[in-house]
Structure 1
Amino acid sequence: MRTITEFPRRVKTIPTEWITLSDGTRLAATIWLPEDAVENPVPAILEFLPYRRRDGTVLRDRQMHAYFAGHGYAGVRVDMRGSGDSDGVLEDEYLPQEQADAIEVIAWLATQPWCSGSVGMMGISWGGFNSLQVASHRPPALKAIITACSTDDRYADDCHFMGGCLLNNSIAWASTMFAFGAQPPDPEVVGERWRDMWIERLENNPLMAASWISHQHRDNYWKQGSVCEDYSSITAAVYAVGGWADGYSNAIPRMLAGLPGPKKGLIGPWAHAYPHAAYPGPRIGFLQEALRWWDHWLKGIDTGIMDEPMLRAWMQESVRPATTYPERPGRWVAESAWPPRDREPSMLHLSCSGLSGDWQPDAKVIVASSLSTGVTFGEWCPYGLAGELPADQRPDDGRSVCFDTQPLVERIEIFGAPVVTLDISSDKPVAMVAARLEDVAPDGSSTHVSYGLLNLTHRHSHEHPEPLEPGKTYRVKIVLNDIAQAFPNGHRIRLALATSHWPIAWPSPELATLTVSTGESTLSLPVRMPSPLDEALAPFAEPEQAEVEPHVIAKLAGRNRTITEDPMTGETVVTVHRERSSYHLPAIDLAFEAQAEEHYRIREGDPSATSADAKAVWQLSRGEWRVRTETYTRVSCTPQTFEITAAMDAFEGDVRVASRNWQRSIPRLLV
């Protein structure tokens, strides 16, 4: 990574700028802008997050926003209501209030003497979500956005539910937000009122896990903020960015197909991070690419970016299974439109002998997996840290029913969403099916490619699920995650079916046995031939950024994942220890440290013994001032309910200043 210290325009930093909203709430912002911006106004680029600009994202913020400022923009990083040094309480994700606040901030930015009146908005994950949501309101000054690692569908394609199945990442994320919402503002910024602001947050910090688990179907709670409800509401130009290793790549093809206005897509091999700093590599000069986008839409400079293909993606080569890849070999490919025109999928038929291009006589295949199937899969949303990606899938393939092709006689490349169609019946009214697509090498090693989940009660609708009639055969479709992947000759393509995918998804209330009728069951692959557009693509620049905020690392971020199986009890426990980077910021003499641990327990033969718990400890300190929050969330179940237990304790020094406990029992609604 190249660090840039000299820019076309000299940069100044406003460490804290207060933006007062119409209801009197004050939001704290850090602004990087050219020194001469008042004499020569510039467009503004807003990033609007709950992750604490002064100590939480400060290292990343300066590298990016100072870079934009040096090229003639105002980089603006704002703490949302209830986060960091801003007033209020953080009540939930993506609320209408959050969007209204951002609209007011955009209007404020457009009227500043240093702003040209044009505004862009960008962000990764939460900031990518709210960039889309705010754009759907069409604030006049907002001309373009960059949305990275985000989604257009809060129910079907976020960390909470997948195919109508409850994702355990929802519980882990709820624990993280539980901790974020309990942090105080900085006394050096807000003064003596810091403690009153902190106590207000502690007394009103919501149990988001209960809200999310309460809404088990695609109701108005999830529709609000899902821009797929009305793509036509977005008229600003949209650049959608993501990575195949991330949990959020599916939204990019969907938005390219659905958005009516100017749009571009970029999908690399990356996990959940900006492409100039992401793993697996190769990293790219993403900040230069962003400048080309901003220059075109905010300054009216013809950079040629809109003359290039609509979608650029990394075609991944086959690799041996590993939980970490520094780089994924492959090449850039391009599509001028999405979905591609005049491209027919390749259909493979399921049979007792595997997968083939020819129809085979109908047979009945039983699928009844152990509950621990899925333990080798890794994280739902990797961040690029060691140990997050799927390991060799052979152990889980052994717990599944697998359909393999014969060894391929020629190379096959796919790009898009594989689709599994099954004629299937269940002996229980609620059941799930997990479908995994694997690349099987001649030595038998099984590398994960894509997957999809379906709660079979959601076979027709996520909004109005229907119980299964035991013994009745239904035709269902499982849409797997989009992917660009090459399968070499000599390898086999494997479809693995299972009735569990733990600990990614919560199991069904009862053990279910599925029967697949193979006669009309198929795997549809989006096969793609190389295109002349691929060869015409210009290479990306090498990654670069501005100087990082001075800091001293005390501990690097990391993950430690262990799997423990007890053959006496049949219990499998997946433990994930998450270490966030701990560091000291000399400029403000502030030290930050945080860590979390999760346990996912399941017992063979007894879905009611399933549980997930997460605890986190966060600490801020400066001299004798030291605050610490400890949060704990546990979800367990009966066949009829989800049971949530949670606790939060906050300390100033060694004195506990707040303690809260929650107990919630939530009915299971065909989940």
Structure 2
Amino acid sequence: AERDSVHHPYIAGHGYACVRVDLRGTGDSEGVLKDEYLEQEQTDAEDVLAWLADQPWCDGTTGMMGISWGAFAALQVAARQPESLRAIVIASFTDDRYADDMHYMGGALLSDNLAEAGTMFAYGTMPPDPAVVGDRWRDMWHERMEGTRPWVIEWLRHQRRDDYWRHASVCEDYRAVRCPVLASSGWADGYSNAVTRLLGNLDVPRKGLIGPWSHKFPHLGEPGPAIGYLQEVVRWWDHWLKGVDNGAMEGPMLRTWMQDSVPPSTSYEERPGRWVGEPSWPSPHITPVRRRLTRHGLSGPLPDAEASAETAPATGPGEGLSVQSPLSVGQFGGKWASYN
């Protein structure tokens, strides 16, 4: 709510009605939140969009925006093609719930799988606000406490890619998304890969933005520099919801912050670099080159794309390398999306 209090007034000031909806079982909505991205959540979202489109202050067109879960939801609902939804704006998201989320990475269990389950167990058992829901608040609270369980139980039951993870993974059918998409993320976020996947696989008007940020909206971006993201959002809405010819689709398909090399650190306030643009993705400016690992480096380019490591020319021994060990515990072990 605090975050939305920043960007909703700005967008509303440009002629849009902004609605923030509590998921079923959270905040002041009734029911129990039993897991993420369930069919119930998506049909609820469709009902909300249909209600909005039918209001006298709405012209019948709607858009969705969000970060993290809110972005997941917007992309997943877009794939269901509700009638009124004309465009989405998403930040820090993924199209692949199994291979590119907080649960499993390369088939390995992430510690975030446990941490997120604990966080959501706490949120899922919080009471609604009596000032909003009235005397029902205690019964609603008890329903939540009695009906909620740690989601990690279900997540650990599905350690391989199965129908549980395929549900709501848009990568299963990119063709289902039929509305324009403005997608962003950051190099310090866990979800930067999804932006280029969408650009390369969607067949709708689309734009991508990747900055130096962590799990943040670009106008609140950390590490810096942040950008005037809300201006970009309003231009996107003006073009796709109001039909304004404002050049929203002009310029590169992908804009990204090319980071300069800096000494390794666990955190940064700023990342030096420069903005670059690509007209399409995959980029016409990138040529893949295959090399093989040698004892202390890389070989020269392989003679052709089909060359095997066995037939590749070897290089000299190169310079020796110093490796600090062990690298498997504590800070050395690394963490998925450590800026979250």
Residue 221 of structure 1: CA displacement? Answer: 0.1
Specify the alignment match of 2:100 in structure 1: 157
- The answer to whether the aligner puts 1:121 opposite 2:64 as a matched pair is yes
Deviations 1:359-385 (A, max 9, x none): 328x9xxxxx8583573255412346x
Specify the alignment match of 1:382 in structure 2: 338
Cα distance between partner residues in 2 of 1:133 and 1:76 = 18
- Aligned mate of 2:314, from 356, 360, 382: 360
Specify the alignment match of 2:261 in structure 1: 318
- Aligned mate of 2:143, from 182, 200, 211: 200
Specify the alignment match of 1:190 in structure 2: 133
Specify the alignment match of 1:168 in structure 2: 111
- Aligned mate of 1:90, from 33, 48, 58: 33
Query: Where do residues 635-654 of structure 1 align in structure 2 (5 Å cutoff)?
Result: none
Residue 83 of structure 1: CA displacement? Answer: 0.3
Specify the alignment match of 1:227 in structure 2: 170
- Root-mean-square deviation (CA, aligned residues, Å) is 1.8
Cα distance between partner residues in 1 of 2:146 and 2:158 = 24
Contact 1:135 1:235 in 2 (8 A): yes
Specify the alignment match of 1:212 in structure 2: 155
Cα distance between partner residues in 1 of 2:36 and 2:111 = 17
Deviations 1:23-43 (A, max 9, x none): xxxxxxxxxxxxxxxxxxxxx
Specify the alignment match of 2:217 in structure 1: 274
- The answer to whether the aligner puts 1:347 opposite 2:301 as a matched pair is no
- Aligned mate of 1:298, from 241, 248, 252: 241
Cα distance between partner residues in 1 of 2:119 and 2:272 = 33
Specify the alignment match of 1:561 in structure 2: none
Specify the alignment match of 1:251 in structure 2: 194
Cα distance between partner residues in 1 of 2:262 and 2:327 = 28
Cα distance between partner residues in 2 of 1:127 and 1:182 = 20
Specify the alignment match of 2:321 in structure 1: none
- Aligned mate of 2:205, from 230, 241, 262: 262
Residues 374, 345 of structure 1: CA spacing in aligned structure 2 closer, same or farther, 3 A cutoff? farther
Cα distance between partner residues in 2 of 1:374 and 1:155 = 25
Contact 1:85 1:185 in 2 (8 A): yes
Cα distance between partner residues in 2 of 1:373 and 1:218 = 28
Specify the alignment match of 1:37 in structure 2: none
Contact 2:187 2:210 in 1 (8 A): yes
Query: Where do residues 466-481 of structure 1 align in structure 2 (5 Å cutoff)?
Result: none
What are the ranges of 5 or more consecutive residues in structure 2 without an aligned counterpart? 302-312, 318-324
Cα distance between partner residues in 2 of 1:332 and 1:103 = 37
Report the 3-state secondary structure (helix = DSSP H, G, I; strand = E; otherwise coil) of the residue aligned with 2:66: strand
Contact 2:97 2:166 in 1 (8 A): yes
The higher radius of gyration belongs to: 1
Residue 81 of structure 1: CA displacement? Answer: 0.4
- Aligned mate of 1:178, from 106, 113, 121: 121
Residue 82 of structure 1: CA displacement? Answer: 0.3
- Aligned mate of 1:136, from 51, 76, 79: 79
Contact 1:323 1:378 in 2 (8 A): no
Cα distance between partner residues in 2 of 1:343 and 1:280 = 27
The one-letter amino acid paired with 2:336 is: W
User: Which structure has more strand as a fraction of its residues?
Assistant: 1
The one-letter amino acid paired with 2:338 is: P
Cα distance between partner residues in 2 of 1:342 and 1:381 = 29
Cα distance between partner residues in 2 of 1:130 and 1:201 = 22
Contact 1:159 1:170 in 2 (8 A): yes
Report the 3-state secondary structure (helix = DSSP H, G, I; strand = E; otherwise coil) of the residue aligned with 2:43: helix
The one-letter amino acid paired with 1:382 is: S
Aligned length: 322
Residue 353 of structure 1: CA displacement? Answer: 3.2
What are the ranges of 5 or more consecutive residues in structure 1 without an aligned counterpart? 1-57, 364-368, 385-671
Contact 2:25 2:33 in 1 (8 A): yes
Report the 3-state secondary structure (helix = DSSP H, G, I; strand = E; otherwise coil) of the residue aligned with 1:334: strand
User: Which structure has more helix as a fraction of its residues?
Assistant: 2
- The answer to whether the aligner puts 1:73 opposite 2:16 as a matched pair is yes
Residue 342 of structure 1: CA displacement? Answer: 6.3
Cα distance between partner residues in 2 of 1:64 and 1:251 = 24
Cα distance between partner residues in 2 of 1:204 and 1:329 = 49
Cα distance between partner residues in 2 of 1:92 and 1:192 = 27
Residue 349 of structure 1: CA displacement? Answer: 2.4
Contact 2:24 2:41 in 1 (8 A): yes
What percent identity do the matched residue pairs reach? 59
The one-letter amino acid paired with 2:98 is: Y
Contact 1:92 1:206 in 2 (8 A): no
Contact 2:300 2:314 in 1 (8 A): no
Give the TM-score of the pair, scaled to structure 2: 0.91
Give the TM-score of the pair, scaled to structure 1: 0.47
